[in-house]
């Protein structure tokens, strides 16, 4: 059997292993792609650190994957053809086992699969996923720039467009990482007044280049006070995975303001009922598991508006380095793994 390179995690908190394993065969409704690029998302920590209940190891992480359709399963030939460029994000398709799937209502699947969690993901030369997980990638975007749009992009784009924020509203983004730097660009293209909140001065210049009207260094200023001075935020998109950092911005919500929790950290956040009740403020979460063409919409909006991720490219073999840089917030702003030798 032909072999491929893949980077996998053997058990919770184990090091990444570069292995040679069999190229997977697509069955039934599955599609196999030759991976061109895969973003390194903070969500991959669920695999690396073992924080996803029931996850089976070894597992190849990676859920921001772009590649070329290479082989179709026997029932997968409806929408896709060999040679097409496609992408797959966190949504890994329906389980095909629950009662909703059995009656053909795949959109109401009760156990949606997650790419790089329920099955092996894109830290590899090839991967296989159900056809429902894929979206076509427009020619206008390179594979390595498209990859981060499939999770970091679609998560923030969807949260923003569902938040009700309109042109002129104050939108603040907490955390300038993979999600945050795209959220900032989307908000700017939506015509909002944008505030970037980040620790220290390191990312200030780039945040302005990406479209921030205002930059707040959360190490030297109280973010709640600063946002209130600006009139209070209509929407705060919280991408920093830290309970205290999120708690500290809640006071910066304006009347009818909404805190949207995108970061997935397990520690609690602190809020007093008074902070919310006064002015009708609210908090809600948003997770990239919704079905629908949000990935396609994100790609299309990005083509139309010129939004692109700022990326650092690593060869697949350096997945461990890319992950460590991401976890220590030193990537500007999304690490992307590529197969073969990365060109400049
Ligand atoms: N809801 C969803 O569907 C969804 C989808 C994808 C990811 N996520 C989650 O969203 C979060 C962000 O993901 P990402 O890929 O953007 O991560 P990332 O690239 O690592 O960026 C996170 C940013 O948060 C800030 N940060 C990190 N640790 C912090 C701390 N201890 N205190 C304060 N700020 C801190 C840093 O920004 P500064 O350096 O600017 O402070 C960092 O760049 C993760 O929790 C991830 O699991 C959720
Ligand atoms: Zn992700």
For the Cβ of 184 lying below 6 angstroms from any atom of ligand 1, the answer is no
What is the pLDDT, as a whole number, of residue 106?
A: 83
Q: How far is the CA of 46 from the centre of ligand 1 (A)?
A: 13
Of the listed ligands, the closest to the CA of 42 is 1
Asked if the model's pLDDT at residue 230 lies above 60, the reply is: yes
**Which atom of ligand 1 lies closest to the CA of 180?**
16
Compute, in angstroms, the gap from residue 152 CA to the centroid of ligand 2. Answer: 6
Mean pLDDT, residues 312-330 taken together? 98
Q: Is the CB of 149 under 6 A from ligand 1?
A: no
* Highest mean pLDDT: which range of 76-80, 93-97, 272-276, 299-303: 299-303
Higher-confidence residue: 216 or 278? Answer: 216
Q: Which residue has the higher pLDDT, 281 or 77?
A: 281
Measured from the alpha carbon of residue 179, the closest ligand is 1
Stretch 125-151: mean pLDDT, rounded?
97
- What pLDDT digit, counting tens, does each position of 288-298 carry? 555 568 999 99
* pLDDT of amino acid 110: 87
Work out which ligand 1 atom sits closest to the CA atom of 196: 40
Per-residue confidence at 108, pLDDT binned at 50, 70, 90?
confident
Q: What is the pLDDT of residue 344?
A: 40
pLDDT of residue 119: 98
pLDDT, one tens digit per residue, over 162-194 is 999 999 999 999 999 999 999 999 999 999 999
Residue 289 confidence (pLDDT): 52
Whether residue 175 has its Cβ less than 6 Å from ligand 1: yes
**How do beta strands 30-39 and 334-338 pair?**
antiparallel
For ligand 1, atom 17, name the residue with the nearest CA. Answer: 42
pLDDT of 340 > 80? The answer is: no
- Domains in the chain (CATH in brackets) are 3-141+308-338 (3.90.180.10), 152-285 (3.40.50.720)
**Mean pLDDT over residues 215-236, rounded?**
98
- Give me ligand 2 centre to Cα 338, in Å: 17
pLDDT reported for residue 203: 97
pLDDT in tens, 76-96: 877 899 999 999 999 999 888
Q: For 4-57, how does the pLDDT look when each residue is reduced to its tens digit (9 = 90+)?
A: 999 999 999 999 999 999 999 999 999 999 999 999 999 999 999 999 989 999
pLDDT score for 187 = 98
**Mean pLDDT, the chain, whole residue set:** 94
């Amino acid at each position: 059997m032909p072999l491929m390179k893949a980077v996998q995690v053997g058990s919770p908190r184990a090091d990444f292993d570069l292995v040679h394993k069999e190229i997977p065969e697509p069955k039934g409704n599955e599609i196999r792609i030759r991976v061109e690029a895969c973003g390194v998302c903070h969500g991959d920590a669920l695999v690396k650190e073992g924080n996803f209940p029931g996850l089976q190891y070894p597992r190849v992480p990676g859920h921001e994957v772009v590649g070329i359709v290479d082989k179709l399963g026997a029932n997968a030939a409806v929408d896709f053809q060999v040679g097409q460029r496609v992408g797959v994000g966190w949504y890994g398709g329906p389980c095909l086992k629950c009662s909703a799937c059995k009656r053909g209502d795949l959109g109401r699947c009760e156990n949606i699969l997650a790419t790089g969690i329920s099955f092996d993901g894109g830290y590899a030369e090839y991967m296989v996923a159900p056809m429902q997980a894929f979206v076509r990638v427009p020619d206008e975007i390179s594979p390595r720039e498209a990859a981060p749009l499939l999770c970091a992009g679609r998560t923030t784009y969807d949260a923003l467009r569902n938040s009700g924020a309109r042109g002129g509203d104050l939108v603040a983004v907490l955390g300038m990482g993979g999600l945050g730097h795209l959220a900032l660009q989307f908000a700017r293209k939506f015509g909002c007044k944008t505030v970037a909140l980040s620790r220290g001065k390191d990312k200030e210049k780039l945040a302005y280049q990406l479209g921030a009207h205002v930059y707040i260094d959360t190490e030297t200023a109280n973010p709640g006070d600063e946002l209130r001075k600006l009139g209070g935020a209509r929407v705060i998109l919280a991408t920093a995975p830290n309970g205290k950092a999120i708690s500290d911005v809640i006071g910066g919500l304006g009347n009818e303001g909404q805190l949207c929790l995108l970061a997935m950290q397990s520690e609690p956040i602190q809020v007093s009922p008074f902070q919310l009740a006064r002015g009708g403020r609210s908090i809600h979460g948003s997770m990239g598991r919704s079905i629908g063409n949000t990935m396609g919409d994100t790609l299309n909006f990005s083509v139309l508006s010129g939004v692109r991720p700022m990326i650092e490219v690593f060869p697949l073999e350096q997945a461990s380095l890319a992950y460590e840089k991401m976890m220590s917030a030193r990537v500007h702003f999304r690490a992307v793994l590529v197969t073969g030798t990365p060109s400049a």
